[in-house]
Amino acid sequence: MTSRTHDVYADWRALLDRASFIELGARARAVALLDTGTARELCGPFDRIESPWLEPQGVVPESDDGVIVVKGRLDGRPAVVIAVEQAFRGGGVGEVSGAKIAAALSLAAGDNRDGTPTAAILLLETGGVRLEEANLGLATVAEVCSALLELRPLQPVIGVIAGALGCFGGMSIAAGLCTRLIMTREGRLGLDGPQVIESEAGAAEFDASDHPLIWSIDGGTQRTGTALADTLVLDDVTAIRSAVIDAVAQGVPAEHRSQRLGELRAHLHAVDPADPPEPSGLAAAWATASPQEGDAQ
Amino acid sequence: MILTTAVTRDWTQRRTAKRERLEAVRSLTSGRVLAAGRIRDALQALLRPGDRVALEGDNQKQADFLAEALAGCDPEVVHDLHLLISSISLREHLDVFERGVARRLDFSYAGPQSTRMAQLLADGKVDVGAIHTYVELYARMFVDLTPDVALLCAEQADRDGNLYTGPATEDTPTIAEAVAFHDGVVLVQVNELVDHVTRVDIPGDWVDLVVESPRPFALEPLFTRDPRHIGQVEILMAMLALRGVYERHGVTTLNHGIGYDTAAIELILPTYGEELGLRGKICKHWTLNPHPTLIPAIESGWVESVHCFGGEPGTERYVAARPDVFFTGRDGSLRSNRVLCQLAGQYAVDMFIGSSLQIDARANSSTVTEGRLAGFGGAPNMGHDPHGRRHASAAWLSLPTGEAPALRGRKLVVQITQTFRSGGTPAFVESLDAIQVGKDAGMPIPPIMIYGDDVSHVVTEEGVAYLYKATSLSERCEALAAIAGATPVGRDMTERRVEELRRDGLVALPEDLKVDVRRADRSLLAARGIEDLVAWSGGLYDPPAGFRTW
């Protein structure tokens, strides 16, 4: 997959001819993934479900609260796409938008139990919990994770981090729980965003203006190279849709990434925090790390 | 008849002083080469209190090693210097004043240090001679502000002092000439000392001393704009400018200011411009730095030539591979020259278009805002009608000026801006902040960047105002107000008056220009991100690290 992407970046004409997925807003992204003519938005802007917490803080709310839920068919099969709009409050998830995500995942789980196998696609461009909604946002991210765990044994939950914002904070935990993760090289995934690390620990620890550093750690190429994400794709509508269809078609694995604790623990042991490896050496360090004796797989 | 007796006079005082200065640093040099570790001692030996010193600080490259050394000089030894700096970009440029090493300052631009500049002025730490435009400051180096010492930077020097300045030649040859040919001392920090320079940009004859800097001089990618940040409004304004100005006047020779507004124009040439059939009819010859956003237009065959003020980091390989378009040396790399490009921009191009932060009701504009003494840079040089021009062109003649028999054309000076800046700040204001800043700083004239009577067109998202067509000041003001939206300048405009101005051709709205507002969309951009610019260049453009998002 990586090498195919690399080839695409060397084909300049093809690169310019692509239809960029990153260019699209959340609603257009959701619709672009589904089979033509099948998209139907739930709790859309005309339902006017807004966050009650923004206006008192001088922030203009939006009538979809920055999360778009669209039902439709993906390669003929029922699916729901849940897209976070990065242009609204940095994709921050609040009480209402979080409830929309959690409810959509739960309803999909219900449909599965009722005999309609429905997969979910999460389009994650989010800085995490919306600061203005603090604890309510945190609580709602927990609900999102819980609903994701309810659905993923039944049908795949596929995360897509295309860019430009990336996926950070509480929602990166949701990304970690996904059945499979698809990223572009522009996409970023991390628990704390670069600016958060810099403001907490100083520029010497992490320089948030150093783009090569940021992408060497959080970027899609690194995250797929180190198996924290599964597929690296070109920023192209057709390529991303195909990758999503493939990811759903692979079905529910016997064990999810977040359940392979031994492997994750071995990865932690393979890194000495006092002398961390270069980002470029991490994949190799992890490839040789093997779960310890007696560790649960 | 009484003949006055000629007073015996020493006609070689400057030459003698130069010899003494160089003698004073002899123990620190080997030939022309100064030891980097002794740079402070060398400056203290070289400089005399009250000296006039040109410290190279351009809008992109900085003689930062020498600036640091100067700031570190002992004010007991070196004091009351008169500094000439075109662009005050580094903190050291102002540390020199805070520490008392220098006292007097003549400059052009203080963008990054503009707040501190205003503060030092208020504290009486610096006496400002004047805020100049770029070429104006260099011109004065040949008249009444000739430096005693120049502190410059270059990429390479050989042991004979020959310099290779690389793609970012900018101001170096001009300052060197003013100093070298009037018995001043030319000291240059170089990134590397070599046996043979890549090409000779400045002959060794002009250079007295070179020092190998421990690190390459600072170089800012000032002209790089990521297309990702260009939105619908910039694209709409670009469409209006293209139809209402470029196409209408058949502009073939031009300069673009820095900013997203003009970057949007560059990026819709291969799409919207192509659709209008304008390739080969407009935008053929440019005075412009190698803007990465111009790459798609160059690659689609729009651009015949580009002469540059300076270079732009990341465009080196691309420029070297397009010598038919850019001015390049025998070594293949770009040769830029700020003064010559400014001259070309004044006398040989038909149009300047640039953004501004504030425009008043009479179209005076400024980037000086409250508490910031930013200066002008080169915009006023480009943004005026040079009365010394005598060659005609179709675009120039399309703005008839003067009275018979002295009928002539004039330069298109175009300002482009949204009616409101980010954060809801109006771009059109009743009084420029510059007026108050000028008063507070005791300046003899307010720091206006472009004078309203030089402005021929203003473009906003509302439409285009053809100010050059106005027959009176009040008509000019009305034409501007008609496109100034809900700002203090535009809000009292009546719909009926706008109709009249449209009928008289002083104002054009999108529908008058057949611009379909609904098409103002990012899909019109030939490149939508830095990675697209790389693709357009066939991999020849190497974006600076800070612009990479992968």
Q: Is B256 within 8 Å of B262 (Cβ atoms)?
A: yes
Sequence-separated (6 or more) residues with CB below 8 Å from residue A284: none
- How does pLDDT run across A67-83, given as a tens digit for each residue? 999 999 999 999 999 99
Least CB–CB distance from A211: residue in B532, B535, B546 = B546
Tell me what ipTM this predicted complex has. Answer: 0.86
- How does pLDDT run across B87-123, given as a tens digit for each residue? 998 999 999 999 999 999 999 988 788 888 888 888 8
Least CB–CB distance from B535: residue in A12, A210, A211 = A12
> Does the beta carbon of A58 lie under 8 angstroms from any beta carbon of chain B?
no
How far is B127 from A13, CA to CA, in rounded Å?
56
How far is B251 from B242, CA to CA, in rounded Å?
10
Q: Give the mean model confidence (pLDDT) for residues B153-174.
A: 96
Q: What does the pLDDT read at residue B1?
A: 59
How far is B100 from B89, CA to CA, in rounded Å?
19
Q: What does the pLDDT read at residue A2?
A: 42
Element (H, E) at B256: strand B253-256
Q: Between chains, do B532 and A16 touch, taking CB under 8 Å as contact?
A: yes
Q: What does the pLDDT read at residue B4?
A: 65
Please give the structure tokens belonging to residue B187.
């000291």
CB-hemisphere CA count at 13 Å for B550? 21
Q: What does the pLDDT read at residue B275?
A: 97
Using alpha carbons, select from B54, B20, B26 the residue that is nearest to residue B178.
B54
Radius of gyration of chain A (CA): 19
What is the residue-wise DSSP string for A89-127? GGG-B-HHHHHHHHHHHHHHHHHHHTT---EEEEE--B-
The per-residue pLDDT of chain B, averaged, comes to: 94
Q: Between chains, do A211 and B548 touch, taking CB under 8 Å as contact?
A: yes
Backbone angles phi, psi at B292, to 5 degrees: -55, -30
Residues of chain B with pLDDT > 70, as a percent, come to: 99
How far is B210 from B213, CA to CA, in rounded Å?
9
> Does the beta carbon of B468 lie under 8 angstroms from any beta carbon of chain A?
no
Pairing relationship of beta strands A180-184 and B149-157 according to DSSP bridges: unpaired
pLDDT category, B245, cuts 50, 70, 90? very high
Pairing relationship of beta strands A40-42 and A67-74 according to DSSP bridges: antiparallel
Least CB–CB distance from A186: residue in B536, B547, B550 = B550
Residues of A within 8 A of B546 (CB-CB) are: 209, 211
Tell me which amino acid residue B241 is.
Answer: A
pLDDT at B550 > cutoff 50: yes
Sequence-separated (6 or more) residues with CB below 8 Å from residue B70: B43, B53, B55, B78, B92, B96, B101, B151
Dihedral angle sign, alpha carbons of residues B15, B21, B26, B32:
negative
Q: Between chains, do B550 and A20 touch, taking CB under 8 Å as contact?
A: no
Q: What does the pLDDT read at residue A292?
A: 64
- 3-class state of residue A180 by DSSP: strand
Q: What is the pTM of this model?
A: 0.92
Q: Which residues pair with B157 in a beta bridge?
A: B163, B193
pLDDT category, A7, cuts 50, 70, 90? low
CB-hemisphere CA count at 13 Å for B83? 30
Residue from B220, B295, B549 to probe the interface with A (highest A Cβ count within 10 Å): B549
Strand ranges inside B312-434, DSSP E: 351-354, 358-360, 365-366, 412-416, 428-429
Residues of B within 8 A of A186 (CB-CB) are: 531, 549-550
- How does pLDDT run across B471-492, given as a tens digit for each residue? 999 999 999 999 999 999 999 9
Q: What does the pLDDT read at residue A3?
A: 42
CA distance A53 to chain B (A): 22
Q: Is B69 within 8 Å of B39 (Cβ atoms)?
A: yes
pLDDT at B367 > cutoff 90: no
Q: What does the pLDDT read at residue B30?
A: 95
Q: Which residues pair with B105 in a beta bridge?
A: B83, B128
- How does pLDDT run across B280-327, given as a tens digit for each residue? 999 999 999 999 999 999 999 999 999 999 999 999 999 999 999 999
Pairing relationship of beta strands B507-508 and B102-109 according to DSSP bridges: unpaired
Backbone angles phi, psi at B412, to 5 degrees: -80, 120
pLDDT at A244 > cutoff 80: yes
- How does pLDDT run across A103-157, given as a tens digit for each residue? 999 999 999 999 999 999 999 999 999 999 989 999 999 999 999 999 999 999 9
How far is B475 from B245, CA to CA, in rounded Å?
20
Q: What does the pLDDT read at residue B364?
A: 96
Using alpha carbons, select from B285, B448, B303 the residue that is nearest to residue B364.
B448
How far is A296 from B318, CA to CA, in rounded Å?
55
Q: What does the pLDDT read at residue B306?
A: 98
Q: What is the DSSP code (8-state) at residue B326?
A: B
> Does the beta carbon of B321 lie under 8 angstroms from any beta carbon of chain A?
no
Q: Which residues pair with A159 in a beta bridge?
A: A122, A181
CA distance B297 to chain A (A): 14
Residue B391, by phi and psi: left (phi above 0), alpha (psi -120 to 50) or beta? beta
- How does pLDDT run across B265-276, given as a tens digit for each residue? 999 999 999 999
How far is B251 from B253, CA to CA, in rounded Å?
6
Residues of A within 8 A of B541 (CB-CB) are: none
pLDDT at B175 > cutoff 80: yes
Other beta carbons within 10 Å of B205: 11
> Does the beta carbon of B538 lie under 8 angstroms from any beta carbon of chain A?
yes
Q: Is B266 within 8 Å of B237 (Cβ atoms)?
A: no
Backbone angles phi, psi at B258, to 5 degrees: -85, 145
pLDDT at B438 > cutoff 60: yes
pLDDT category, B2, cuts 50, 70, 90? low
Radius of gyration of chain B (CA): 25
pLDDT at B370 > cutoff 80: no
pLDDT at B397 > cutoff 70: yes
pLDDT category, B226, cuts 50, 70, 90? very high
- 3-class state of residue B112 by DSSP: helix
Q: Between chains, do A15 and B548 touch, taking CB under 8 Å as contact?
A: no
Q: What does the pLDDT read at residue A295?
A: 52
- Worst-scoring range by mean pLDDT, B165-174, B374-383, B522-531? B374-383
Q: What does the pLDDT read at residue A48?
A: 92
> Does the beta carbon of A164 lie under 8 angstroms from any beta carbon of chain B?
yes
pLDDT category, B170, cuts 50, 70, 90? very high
Our measurement of the distance from residue B152's CA atom to the centroid of its chain's CA atoms, rounded to an integer in Å, reads: 18
> Does the beta carbon of B539 lie under 8 angstroms from any beta carbon of chain A?
yes
Strand ranges inside A140-215, DSSP E: 157-161, 180-184
- Listed as own residue / partner, the contacts of B17-21 with beta carbons closer than 8 Å and 24 or more positions apart are B17/B148, B17/B183, B18/B183, B18/B184, B18/B185, B18/B208, B21/B45, B21/B46, B21/B48, B21/B149, B21/B185
Q: What does the pLDDT read at residue B114?
A: 85
Let me know if B232 is exposed, middle or buried by CB neighbors in 10 A (0-12, 13-18, 19+). Answer: middle
Q: What does the pLDDT read at residue A72?
A: 98
Interface of A with B in 197-236 (CB under 8 A): 209-212, 215, 219-221
Q: What does the pLDDT read at residue B5?
A: 67
Element (H, E) at A169: none
Least CB–CB distance from B539: residue in A12, A23, A164 = A12
